[in-house]
Structure 1
Amino acid sequence: MLLVRVAADRSGLPAAVLFVLAGSALALLPVPTAPLDPDVVLQLVIPPLLYAAALNASLFEIRSNLRRIASLSVGLVLMTGLAVGVALDLVVAELSFAAALALGAAVAPPDPVAALAIGRRARLPSRLTTLIEGEGLLNDATALTLYGIAVTAVAAGGDVSVPEGVGRFLFAVAGGLAAGVLVAWVVRASRRHLDDPLLENALSLATPFAAYALAESVDASGVLAVVIAGLWLGHQSPLIESGASRLQTRAVWRLIEFVLEGYVFLLIGQQLPDVIADLDRYPTSTVVTAAGATVAVVLLVRPLWLLGLRGETLDPDGRPLSLRDVVALSWSGTRGVITLATAAALPLAFPDRHLLLFCAYLVVLVTLVGQGLTFAPLLRALKLRAADADERRVRAEARLAAVDAGRERIDEVIEEQQLPEDAARRVRQLYEGRRTVAEQRLVRTRERLDALDDADEDAVERLSSAVEAVGALRRAALDAEREELVRWRDAGRLPESSLRALLRELDHQEGLLSGGGGA
C-alpha cells in the first residue's frame, strides 16, 4: 500500500487507479488474496469513509447548491438505475426486470474519490468540486434504497411495486435524516463535557458507526445518517472543538482515509478471478451484450442528464452550467467500492448473480481506470481552473479581519480585568508584527532562566504571573479570530476550505502556547 502511494505521488497518477491495477496484478499471482465481504465493506468501511468526507465538506455550499446536488444524487441515480434495468431487460432475455434493476442500482452511484483527488490537484473550480462532492455524499442512500426494493421484488416473484418503492424510499430518507441529526446532537452535547483531545477523538471515531447502526436498526438509510451527522458536526467544528482536538482529529481521520481507501481499491482489483470464475455457464454473446449494454448506459445517461441541466444556475451567483462544465462533470462519474460491494451483496441464490457481478465489475474498471487516467488531461484541455488569485485575496482579507478582531478582544480583556500592562504590551507586539511567537517564547525563556539564576522567588512568581496573563490574552485573541472567521463563513464571504486553512493556522499558534500559557 505504501509503495503504491509513493508511486502515485511521484508519477502524478491517481492513487485509486494504481491501487486497483496493483490489486489486479496481485490477483493474477499465486499469492493469497482477500475476498470482498459485502457486510464488512458496507458496515465497517463505508461509514468512516463517508463520515470523513462529510467532515471536510461544506454544509453551506451544499445547501446553496442543494437543488442541483439533489438532481444528481437522486434524479440521476434513479434514472441510471432504471435505464440499466430497462436496457438489460430488453437485450438479455435471461434477465428479469427486477434482477436487472438490482444491477442498475448497484452501478448508478458514482464514487468520486478518484475524481476529487484528481480535480483538486488540477485546481478544478470550487463550484464543480462542490457538486461532485455533494453528489458523492448523498447518492449512495438513493442507490441502496433502490437496490433493496429490487432485491425484495425478486424474492417476491419479480414484481416491482411502485407505491411500495416510493414509500420505502421516503421512509429511508426521513429515517436517515432523523438518525443523523439525533446522533450529531448527542455528540455535540457530549463534547461540552469533554476537554481531553483523546476522548474527543474516540467519540469522533465512534460517531459514524453509531449513526449507521441507529438508522439501519429501523430500516432507514444508514449512509444518509452518517453523511448528515458528518456534515453537521463538520460545520460546527469551529464552535465545539478545541484547537488541539481539531488538529489531532484531522490527523487521525487523514490516516483512516489513507488506510481504508487503499484497502478498498486494492480489494476491488483482487476480485478479478472471482467475478470471471463462473461466467462459463453463459454464452459469450450474452456476457458481451449484458456488459456492453450496462457500460454504455452508465456512460451515456450521465452526460444526457447534465445537458438537461444546462439551463439551471450552478451556484447562488446565477452562473449557468456551461458545456465545459457538463463535459467535466460527465467524466467525473467514476464508480468504486459501493458498486462492487452492493453487487457482491446479492444473495447467493439470486438469479444470474455471477453475470450481474461481472457487469458491475466491468463498469468499475472502465470508469475508475479509464476515466480516472484521462480526467486530468481532460481538465487541462477544457482549461477549467480555479480562480486562485480571487481565493487568495479573500483569504487574506479574512485573515486581516480576524487580526483586527483579536486586537479588539485584547483591549476588551485588558479593560475588563485590568491585566498587567507588560502582558498587554507583549501580546500587542505579536499583532503589530514586531515580534513573532517564537521570538516571544525565546525572550520569555531567557527571562525565566535569569530569574532562576538569581534565585529570586519573587521574580520567578512575577514572571509566572506574567506568563499566565500573556497566555490568557493570546487565547482570548485567538478565540476572537476564530469567531470572526466563522462569521465570514456563515455570511458566505469565506469558502469552507479557506476557513479550515485559516483555522489550522490559529490552532497551530495555540499549540505553541506552553502549559502556562506563555508565548
Structure 2
Amino acid sequence: MTPQITLLFVLAAVAVIVLVRWIASRTGLPAAALLPLLGIAYALLPGPNVSLDPGIVLTVVLPPLLYSAALDSSLLGIRRNLRIVVSLSVVLVLLTALLVGIGFHLFVAGATLAAGIAIGAAIAPPDPVAALAVGRRVNLPPKLVTIIQGEGLLNDATALTILKVAVAAAVGGGFSFPSAVGQFMLAAVGGVAVGAVVAWGVRLARPLTADPLLANAVSLATPFVAYLLGEELHVSGVLAVVIAGLIVGHHTPRLASGASRLQTSAVWRLVDFLLEGFVFLLIGQQLPTVVQGLRQYDTSTVVVAVAVSVGVVLLLRPAWLVLTQLLPRSLHTRLGGTSDEDDTDETSGAGQAARADPLARRLSGREVVALSWSGTRGVISLAAIFTLPLTTDRGAPFPDRDLLLFCTFVVVLVTLVGQGLTFAPLVRSLGLRANESDQARIRNEARSAAVEAALARLDEVAADEPGHAQAIDTTRGQLLARLARYRVRLDLLQSTESTEMPTSPEYEAALRIRRAALDAQREELLRWRDAGRLPDAGLRVLERELDHEELLLPSRRRR
C-alpha cells in the first residue's frame, strides 16, 4: 500500500476505535468484544485487507502492552497469590497444550501429537484485557483482579516456550523430554534474570531522568530493551518484560518525581488504548486468511478439530480451578492457590492476618465461577499460531497448518466475543463486587497517616529552623485542615454497614464548591488571555497549576 493509503487506514482505524470506545461507555458492552466483530465485517467487504504479521505483534505490540500491564499491577499482590497465579499461568497452560495435543492426535484424522501441542500452546494463554476491562467496570474484587493480571502477565512466556519445543518436534528436529524441560527452565530463569537486570539499569538511570520527558522516553524504551535483550540471549523476552515492569512499577513511587509519574501514566494509558484497539480490529480482519485454506479438509474433520480446541479451553479451566480448591490443605498450598489461613482458628495470628488481608485466602465458589469465565483469548494466540513455518525440515508442508489457524481463530472469537459479552452479567449475577466502603476507609486511613507524618516532620523542622515559624505555621494549618476533612470522612465510612460508598451532603457540597471555584479561575484566566493581558504561554502554566489542583479532588469511586 502507498503511504497515503496506509495513513488512511490508520486514521480510519483510530476513528473506529474512538467510536467503539464511546459506544462501550454508553452501553456497557466491552470494546474488546465489539472491535473484532467490526474487523470481521470489514474483512468481508471487497477491497484491501490488513494481514497479521506475527513478528511485528510479538516484537512491537506485545512488549509495551505487557510492560504497561506490569506497571499497573501489584508485585506484592501477585506474590501473595503466587501459588494460584503459577498454577494458572504455568501448570494450566502446560495441561491445556498437552490435552489439546492428545485430543488432536486421537480424534482428528492425520493430525500429529506435535502439531496438536503447537495449537494447544497457542490457545492456552488467556489475554486478560477484555476480562479486566469488564471487571473494573463492574468493580470486581481486588483479589480477582490481581489473579487475572498475574496470570495474564506470566502465561505468555510459558505458552511461547512450549510452542517452540512443539514446532521443533513437528518440523523434524526431534523431541526429548529432558531437553524440553531444560529449555523451559533456561528460558524462565534467564528471562527473570534479564528482567531484573533491565529494571536495575532503569533504577540507576533515575538521577539522569529528572526531566519528565526524559523519564517518559526511558519508560517507553524499557520494554523493547528487555524483550530484545532476552531474545538475543535465547531466553524468554516476554518474561523479561514482565519482570522488569513489575520491579520498576514497585519502585516508581519511591524513585520517580510526581511530574514524571503523571506524564508517564498518561502516555501509557494512550499507548494501551490505541494498541489494544488496533489489535482487536486486526483479529477480526484475519478471517479471510484463516478460512481460505480449509477447502482441503472434510467438514467432519474441521468440526472435530474445532470441538477439541474449544472444548478443552472452556472445560479444563473451571475443572482445574475446582480441583485446586478441593485438594487437601497440604497439597492446596503447594498447587492450588493462596493461603488456607482463613480456615484457621480466629484467635491465631495467621487467621487475623488472613482476615485483615482479603487477598490472602482461598477462592470461594463464586470466585471460581468468575475466574473460570475470565479466560478470554486474544492476539497472542493468533500471533503465536501464525509463527508456524510453512514447511518442515524435509520440505513437506507443516502438518495441518491451515486447520490449526482456523481452530485458533475460532477459539479466540468464541472466548473474546462470547465470554467478553457475558462476563459482566455473570459477575453481577454472582454478586461479586469490591467493598467500596472498606477500600475508601483504607485510603482515608492512609491519607490521615501521611498527614500526621507530615505534621511530625514539621515539628522537627521547627526545632531545627526556628526562624521560619510563619511558613511552618501556614503549612501546619493547611495540613490540619486536610486532616480534619479526612477524619470526618473516616467517621462516615466507619459508621456505615453497607459495602457501597456512603454519601455525605456536606462532603458532596464541599466538592462542588471547590470545583466551582476552579472553574471560575479558569474562566477568568481565559478572559485575561482573550483581552491580551496574559500571553498563551502564561495561560498554559496557570492552567497546569489548576489542573494539578483538580487532580487532588477525589472522583466518585476513589474517595
How would you bin the TM-score normalised by the shorter chain? 0.7 to 0.9
Counterpart pick for 1:160 among 164, 175, 192: 175
**Matches of 1:367 and 1:119, distance apart in 2:** 15
Q: How many Å apart are 1:278 and its aligned residue?
A: 1.2
After TM superposition, give the deviation of residue 121 of structure 1 in Å.
1.0
Distance of 1:44 and 1:415 partners within structure 2: 55
Give the CA deviation at 1:5: 1.2
Q: 1:8 to 1:510 in 2, by over 3 A?
A: closer
The Cα shift of 1:94 comes to 1.5
Corresponding residue number in structure 2 for 1:515: none
- The one-letter code sitting in structure 2 at the alignment partner of 1:206 is A
What's the offset of the Cα at 1:415?
2.4
Query: Are 1:121 and 2:137 counterparts?
Result: yes
Query: Gaps (5+ residues) in structure 1?
Result: 443-506, 513-519
Q: Deviations over 1:66-123 (max 9, x none)?
A: 1111111100000001000000110012211101110000000000100011111111
**Pairwise mapping of residues 309-324 of structure 1 onto structure 2 (< 5 A)?**
309-311=324-326, 312=332, 314-315=338-339, 317=354, 319-324=361-366
- Distance, in Å, in 1 between the alignment partners of 2:381 and 2:318 is 20
**1:151 alignment partner in structure 2:** 167
What amino acid does structure 2 have at the position aligned with 1:154? Answer: A
Partner of 1:340: 382
- Equivalent-residue separation in structure 1 for 2:477 and 2:363 (angstroms): 49
Distance 1:4 1:91 in 2: 40
Deviation at 1:320, TM superposition (A): 2.3
Partners of 1:319 and 1:45 in 2: how far apart? 35
Q: Which residue number corresponds to residue 58 of structure 2? A: 42
Contact 1:172 1:220 (8 Å CA) reproduced: yes
Structure 1 CA distance for aligned equivalents of residues 89 and 207 of structure 2 = 34
Equivalent residue in structure 1 for 2:433, among 385, 398, 403? 385
- Given that residues 83 and 338 in structure 2 are in contact (C-alpha distance below 8 angstroms), is that contact kept between their aligned partners in structure 1? no
Q: Hey, what does 1:183 align to over in structure 2? A: 198
Structure 1 residue 413, shift from structure 2 partner: 2.2
Q: Partner of 1:270 in structure 2?
A: 285
Deviation of 1:330 after TM superposition, in Å, equals 0.5
Distance of 2:188 and 2:119 partners within structure 1? 21
Match among 197, 200, 208 for residue 212 of structure 2: 197
Tell me how far apart the structure 2 counterparts of residues 167 and 82 of structure 1 sit (CA, whole Å): 18
Q: Which residue of 2 aligns with 1:366?
A: 414
Check whether the contact 1:106–1:340 (CA below 8 A) recurs between aligned residues: yes
Correspondence for 1:83: 99
Match of 1:326 among 354, 358, 368: 368
- Give me the whole-angstrom Cα distance separating, in 2, the residues matched to 1:419 and 1:55: 43
> What's the TM-score, normalizing by structure 1?
0.83
Q: Does 1:72 align with 2:120?
A: no
Q: For 1:69 and 1:31, how far apart are their aligned partners in 2?
A: 44
Contact 1:103 1:343 in 2 (8 A): yes
412 and 511 in structure 1: CA distance in 2 versus 1, 3 angstrom threshold: farther
- RMSD value over aligned CA atoms? 2.3
| Unpaired stretches in structure 2, ≥5 consecutive residues | 1-16, 327-331, 342-353, 355-359, 392-397, 486-509, 521-546, 553-559
Query: Does the 8 Å CA contact 2:104/2:308 hold for their aligned counterparts?
Result: yes
Secondary structure of residue in 2 paired with 1:292? helix
SS at match of 1:433: helix
Q: Secondary structure at the match of 2:166?
A: helix
Aligned in 2, Cα 1:325/1:79: closer, same or farther, shift over 3 Å? same
Question: Runs of 4+ in structure 1 displaced over 6 angstroms?
Answer: 434-440
- Partner of residue 445, structure 1: none
Q: Using the TM superposition, give the Cα deviation of residue 511 of structure 1 relative to its aligned residue in structure 2, in angstroms.
A: 9.3
User: How far apart are the structure 1 equivalents of 2:20 and 2:50?
Assistant: 17
Residues 260-302 of structure 1: per-residue CA shift (max 9 Å, x gap):
0001000001111111011111111111111111111111111
Rounded Cα–Cα distance in structure 2 between residues aligned with 1:375 and 1:144: 27
Distance 1:425 1:130 in 2: 43
Tell me whether 1:211 sits opposite 2:259 in the alignment.
Answer: no
Q: Equivalents in 2 of 1:304, 1:194: separation in Å?
A: 49
Residue 140 in structure 1 maps to residue 182 in structure 2: no
Q: Which deviates the most, 174-183 or 278-287?
A: 278-287
Where in structure 2 are the equivalents of 1:470-485 lying within 5 Å?
Answer: none
Per-residue CA deviations over 1:5-37 (Å, capped at 9, x if unaligned) read 111111110010111111111111124221100
CA separation in 1, counterparts of 2:440 and 2:51? 46
Shift of 1:192: 2.0
In 2, distance between residues paired with 1:241 and 1:413? Answer: 24
Aligned equivalent of 1:431, options 460, 479, 498:
479
2:420 aligned partner, one-letter code = G
**How far does residue 314 in structure 1 lie from its aligned partner after superposition?**
3.8
Q: Per-residue deviation at 1:508?
A: 3.9
Displacement, 1:387?
Answer: 1.2
Alignment check: 8 A CA contact 1:127 1:314 kept: no
Q: Distance in 2 between matches of 1:348 and 1:249?
A: 41
| Kept in 2: contact 1:331–1:375 (CA 8 A) | yes
Q: Distance in 2 between matches of 1:214 and 1:396?
A: 42
1:391-406 matched pairs, under 5 angstroms: 391-406=439-454
Q: Which amino acid aligns with 1:13?
A: L
Tell me the alpha carbon deviations over residues 421-448 of structure 1, each in whole angstroms, 9 at most, x when there is no partner: 22112212211228999999x9xxxxxx
Identity of aligned residues (%): 58
Paired residues for 1:5-44 under 5 Å: 5-44=21-60
What residue is the counterpart of 2:126 in the other structure?
Answer: 110
Query: Partners of 1:76 and 1:419 in 2: how far apart?
Result: 65
Report the alpha carbon displacement of residue 152 of structure 1 after superposing the two structures with TM: 0.8
Partner of 2:3: none
1:222 aligns with 237
Is the contact made by 1:309 and 1:321 (CA closer than 8 Å) also made in structure 2? no
1: CA distance between counterparts of 2:178 and 2:236? 18
1:398 counterpart letter in structure 2: A
The residue identity in structure 1 corresponding to 2:370 is A
Tell me, yes or no, if the aligned pair for 1:41 and 1:341 is still in contact at 8 Å: yes
Q: How far is 1:319 from its partner?
A: 2.6
Look up the equivalent residue of 1:330 and give its one-letter code. S
Amino acid at match of 1:357: L
